[in-house]
Amino acid sequence: MEVVHYPVMHREVLENLPIPEGDSSILIDCTTGEGGHTSLFLEKHPSLSVIGIDRDSEIQKKAIERLSVYGERFHPVNAWFNDYLKEAPSDFADAILFDLGISMFHYVESERGFSFRTDEPLDMRLNSKSGMSAADIVNGYSEENLADVIYKYGEERYSRRIARAIVERRSEKAIESSAELAEIIRLAVPRDYRYGRIHPATRTFQALRIEVNSELDRITPALEEAMRVLKKGGRIAVITFHSLEDRKVKWFFKEEAARDDSRIRILTKKPIVPSEEEERENPPSRSAKLRVVEKI
């Protein structure tokens, strides 16, 4: 099934990232995905150019095709956003957007084991040509390290039990598929936890995905560089989807704003959240939070 990305809080993002009129206006979309947010900005601002960054070359192909109608106004870059921003010149972008969520494409179309509801190779890499896969971690990490990853990045209270069950199973044969791992987790947790509000494998799969792609480690360096790359008066908007991401963004902005020589002004004392209408239309948006700052 082919899925088109639904841009989360698209109205709120457009409202909070104003673009100055002029032929040289530039937006950096640090997590372009299928190009949902980028397409809205390009449509609204006819003179705007967007630099669209994504590490996943497969989803980037979708964005390039979708945004081909805008010609050279869209400039795709296949890279991790923190790496791109580190090399980018200072004071040249009018606005910078981060949407830190994983696209539905990865759960539904990528066939890389992001979802515990399908039976796919246990990969989870956004850059599928390098780095450790989820299978490498599940089959290679010690029981202690595995439990620590599941607890730290998944906030999973049964991390020790799950890690023990994984190690016991892999002693018989390597764990290679998402469905196999999900079943190991399901059997490892208490019976009442199996039938709770969320699937018992949810937090473990999140933790593995974060570990595989070093997701949390990229946020602070990227925000630091983004403030350098941004023009004075420009804005940075960040959409997060779970508490670990949001905590890093929140405290980075708070600590920066509290400095005597602060470079930013926080525009969202409390994060903007989706409307009830959007939550009904797009249930995955329920956990989203939008934070916005302005460079001074």
Q: What total number of domains does the chain contain?
A: 2
Q: How confident is the model at residue 5 (pLDDT cuts 50, 70, 90)?
A: low
Question: Could you tell me if residue 1 is inside a domain?
Answer: no
In-domain check, residue 22:
yes
How does pLDDT run across 118-176, given as a tens digit for each residue? 899 999 999 888 889 999 999 999 999 999 999 999 999 999 999 999 999 999 999 99
Is 5 part of any domain? no
d(CA 52, CA 40): 13
pLDDT tens digits, 16-57: 999 998 778 999 999 999 999 999 999 999 999 999 999 999
pLDDT at 21: 83
Residue 282 sits in the same domain as residue 222: yes
Residue 233 has pLDDT above 90, yes or no: yes
Q: Tell whether 119 and 251 lie within a shared domain.
A: no
Mean pLDDT of 247-270: 96
| Residue % of the chain over a pLDDT of 90 | 82
Q: Is the model's pLDDT at 2 over the cut of 50?
A: no
pTM, full prediction: 0.93
> Same domain, yes or no, for 96 and 230?
yes
Is residue 164 in some structural domain?
yes
Whether the pLDDT of residue 181 is over 80: the answer is: yes
- Within 10 angstroms of residue 265's Cβ, the number of other Cβ atoms is 13
Within this chain, do residues 85 and 152 fall inside the same structural domain, yes or no? no
Termini Cα distance of the chain:
45
> pLDDT band at residue 1, thresholds of 50, 70 and 90?
very low
Q: Flag whether 249 is in a domain.
A: yes
Same-domain check for residues 166 and 286: no
Closest CA to 111 of 59, 184, 186: 59
Beta bridge partners of 266: 293
Helices (H), ranges, 22-56: 36-44
How far, in Å, CA of 11 to CA of 37, rounded? 10
Q: Is residue 207 domain-resident?
A: yes
Residue 114's SS3 state is coil
Is the per-residue pLDDT at 238 higher than 70? yes
- Domain end among 187, 213, 239: 213
Which amino acid is it at 269?
A: K
Higher pLDDT, 227 or 276: 227
**203: pLDDT strictly greater than 80:** yes
* CATH assignment of the domain containing 269: 3.40.50.150
- Is the same domain home to 120 and 73? no
Backbone angles phi, psi at 198, to 5 degrees: -120, 160
Q: Is residue 76 part of a domain?
A: yes
Q: Once rounded to an integer, what is the mean pLDDT over residues 200-214?
A: 96
Please state, in angstroms and rounded to a whole number, the distance separating the CA atoms of residues 176 and 137: 11
Q: Do 99 and 235 touch, CB atoms closer than 8 A?
A: no
Shared-domain flag, residues 36 and 129:
no
Dihedral angle sign, alpha carbons of residues 165, 136, 217, 199:
negative
Q: List the CATH number of the domain containing 136.
A: 1.10.150.170
| Domain end position, chosen among 166, 191, 213 | 213
- 91 and 175: one domain? no
- Whether residues 183 and 54 share a domain: the answer is no
Instruction: Identify the domain containing residue 124 by its residue range.
Output: 110-213
Give the rounded percent of residues in the chain with a pLDDT score beyond 70.
98
Query: Of 218, 185, 215, 216, which is closest to residue 203 (Cα–Cα)?
Result: 185
- Confidence class for position 110, pLDDT limits 50, 70, 90: confident
Residue 114 and residue 209 share a domain: yes
Same domain, 101 and 220: yes
Q: Average pLDDT over the chain, rounded to whole?
A: 93
Is the same domain home to 185 and 236?
A: no
The reply to whether 286 falls in a domain is: yes
Tell whether the model's pLDDT for residue 8 goes beyond 80. Answer: yes
> Among the three residues 184, 213, 242, which one is the final residue of a domain in this structure?
213
